[in-house]
Structure 1
């Protein structure tokens, strides 16, 4: 990989010379030029100027997401702005859509659901539940290496269903770092732990709507079609799929690494405890139980998840667990990115570009089942080199355009497949956090990444197809 290494080294030094703005500007302009060239060829198909306009925005957004010439959230805002200029004013076309069509993505159920999840994640972090999770895991699974590894993976997966994958990974990595230092960097158990936790966080996030942003994008896209998935309906497919993938990866790690000589002397670990007010810890646990309980029982009480998402926002600020300073540090950029992705999906559908693409796909000499598998494979491959949220923003609206039950199944398959991108340290923030410890090499992610590239789409296809049979 000498060419790749030299390329990254050149970029690194280029930025060190404080020429970041030149690099970003030239990259942005390069993306604009490429998008214009590609669109000029596409326009020769004569689908109409409005279709060409949305195609241009889509190609440009993909390029900006891949190259990160501007931050991903800025691409989301850019998409909304371009949609408003194009269809909600008379500057480009005759006004054909109200501004609310695109601006309402900021207030969709998906946004409020994610925001409630962010508050829960911040509250759990503030009361240092990482140490409690570590002690609880050791107590329940013991000190046998294989069982304890499974315990850490399952606890990570479960936590990531109510917290962001990034926050869960940061919390769990910080809890196991003392154990890793005790065993040493070269220990196979250290490598297993540091690759297992980010994988369990990403794949475990499949379990709930708020567990992973692609899940929320899929639910939002289906909602635009008039199909509302409740929290429990998503869990019916996401929960078993996520946990089964975690279990399979645990079996794989146990076969890949030899733990026969690993001895875990947990008594040698530091006993340092943080000072957390018990009342605040109980307040977080109470809020977590109430909020998740309301989400799970939506079919019975009928209160939308967007409304019950206000519970953690109100309770955690009222009990002084979260202050204004913590609110400012929440990942608001993720909400901007999701809103932009939803706006892009609306544009693709409204001008008919999604239907055009899917008509071409349906004309391919393969059965529609083959098309669904192609979506899954593309989703996992693309998510390895760009944001899985961005990948879902592009692929989910296209999948939702498929006929019949496939229009419900494919968005869910894509969301699950996007969460299985774990090949590189930069594939997910969870991988990046684990890699940033300096205790792993890039090659340590490869086997696990290939494992999920193969099994992720296959399991996504099988479980979602079974789920759709009962859902429909």
Structure 2
């Protein structure tokens, strides 16, 4: 029955929504376009949760359905009454297609090129080898070093790729422990926890950050450097709390462990090009717009340099996480439909949020996001919630003293990345669980504590930023 529901519900529910009369919905007015947008939203939500198809395929389907049924160049029979008020406004087909080439997509593409070049020329492993030396041989200190390096790499690389790399480095360390040593659990959990937390540190660290930037425009715009200015301290505090938690819950029986990571920095011309380009790109990102370029423009510099020099060739291009780019672009397209049809605003205005204290709204939004992120893709969660939260932030005047739209989006974004209670919550968790050293119950205990504490800390962080007039 569960297998059937996986395939039937994503088709049946949107069809029922489309066939219902407008009077069946709890809105004073509902246009045909808004009704179609509701059906599309439910289709995306059910497909992202139940996964009858790969989640990136859902994004592609969303974009194609928008072009067919919501755009001004869609099927002519489905836009015959486009000039009537009851029909609503059609979306321009170029706006839908441009989600494939959004500046945010270019930002991620630049990040992928940097990560691939760093791995190909062993910059990541060699940095790990050098950076772990100062941490000695005490288990808790070695774990602190591993978490710190994992978090830093996750700021600029895929969380999944970082976890896979660091777990490979961790394998000989785990072999030192006795079979029933709780330290094994701590070390195995430390990598995914640090990767999930570290991804919050930069706009390219994880897709929910990039999705948030899509809605932080105009007066609410946040540069790469500004994001890091408030996100990195949050990451540092969360890493410290996670390290203490793991050290206390799973204390190792070993007094010391040996660490042996073999390798050396390559000294070829291409390797030096990778080192220089990586450094220059990160510095340009940190400098914000002081040089006249935004982070999206800077992101294409490594793409050009690595392509021109052959550092990244056509075979390497096949290894880029194109599924992530498709997934994010589909989320943008869904947000576009909710926004341009007026459905997001209609949903927000239909709920009396003004009757609730702004603190309750913020806590409720963060709790909902955290809950969803534990059971489905963090990116899919952000894709579904962000358009609605953006509309809510604009419409709810009582949120203005607390930062309005910016505060709401940031709190929800951080909550999306803190969902790490289950092996299915995020790929790094799944990789750690696959090692066989961590049970789902152990992961859940740590994940719930970090998630709840992290959301609470994000509220404190936002309050401090408002206090110093940063937001």
TM over 0.5: yes
| Equivalent in 14, 25, 28 of residue 44 of structure 1 | 25
Indicate the residue corresponding to 2:316 in structure 1.
326
Of residues 408-417 and 184-193 in structure 1, the stretch that sits farther from structure 2 once superposed is 184-193
Q: Could you tell me how far 1:226 is from its partner in structure 2?
A: 6.7
**C-alpha distance in 1 between matches for 2:236 and 2:341:** 39
Cα distance between partner residues in 2 of 1:235 and 1:68? 33
Alpha-carbon separation, structure 2, partners of 1:392 and 1:357 = 17
Partner of 2:86: none
2:78 counterpart residue number: 92
Counterpart pick for 1:35 among 14, 19, 22: 14
Structure 1: give runs of 5+ residues left out of the alignment: 1-6, 12-22
Are 1:372 and 2:356 an aligned pair?
Answer: no
Instruction: Identify the match of residue 225 of structure 2 among 214, 222, 232.
Output: 232
Task: Trace 1:215-364 onto structure 2 (pairs within 5 A).
Answer: 215-223=209-217, 227-259=220-252, 261-266=253-258, 269=260, 272-273=262-263, 278-363=268-353
Aligned to 1:3: none
Equivalents in 2 of 1:272, 1:159: separation in Å?
19
Conserved in 2, the CA contact under 8 Å of 1:137 and 1:148?
no
1:32/1:60 contact within 8 Å kept: yes
Name the CA distance, whole Å, in 2 between partners of 1:183 and 1:414: 39
- Higher mean alpha-carbon deviation, 108-117 vs 441-450, is at 441-450
Size of the alignment, in residue pairs? 447
Residue in structure 1 matched with residue 48 of structure 2 by the alignment: 65
Equivalent in 156, 169, 178 of residue 172 of structure 2: 178
User: Match for 1:107 among 80, 84, 101?
Assistant: 101
Matched, 1:204 2:204: no
- Residue 73 of structure 1: CA displacement? 0.9
Unaligned runs of 5+ residues in structure 2 are: 83-88, 395-399
Deviation at residue 295 of structure 1 after TM alignment: 1.2
State the Cα distance separating 1:275 from its structure 2 match: 9.6
Q: Match of 1:307, SS? A: helix
Q: Does 1:163 align with 2:157?
A: yes
Q: Partners of 2:270 and 2:171 in 1: how far apart?
A: 25
Distance 2:188 2:263 in 1: 23
Higher mean displacement: 378-387 or 321-330 = 321-330
Q: CA deviation at 1:250?
A: 0.6
Deviation at 1:374, TM superposition (A): 0.9
Aligned to 2:144: 150
Partner of 2:64: 81
- TM-fit CA distance, 1:34: 2.3
What residue number does 2:110 align with? Answer: 116
Secondary structure of the residue aligned to 1:229 is: coil
Q: RMSD across aligned C-alpha pairs, in angstroms?
A: 2.3
Structure 1 residues 178 and 253: alpha-carbon distance in aligned structure 2, compared to 1, 3 A threshold: same
State the 1:184 CA deviation. 4.3
Deviations for 1:203-236, whole angstroms, at most 9, x for unmatched residues?
111010000100000001223x674321011112
Tell which deviates more after alignment, 32-41 or 300-309: 32-41
Q: 1:111 Cα shift?
A: 0.5
Match of residue 437 from structure 1: 435
Q: Is the 8 A contact 2:126 2:263 kept in 1?
A: no
Q: CA contact under 8 A between 2:126 and 2:264: conserved in structure 1?
A: no
Residues 1:53 and 2:36 are matched in the alignment: yes
> 1:156, 1:281 → 2: CA distance?
22
Question: Would you say the 8 A contact 1:221–1:345 is kept in 2?
Answer: no
Does the 8 Å CA contact 1:183/1:190 hold for their aligned counterparts?
yes
User: Which residue, out of 451, 454, 470, partners 1:453?
Assistant: 451
- Residue 75 of structure 1: how far off its partner (Å): 1.0
Task: Quote the residue 1:419 is aligned against.
Answer: 417
Mapped partners of 1:363, 1:63: distance in 2: 26
Mean Cα displacement is larger for which, 419-428 or 131-140? 131-140
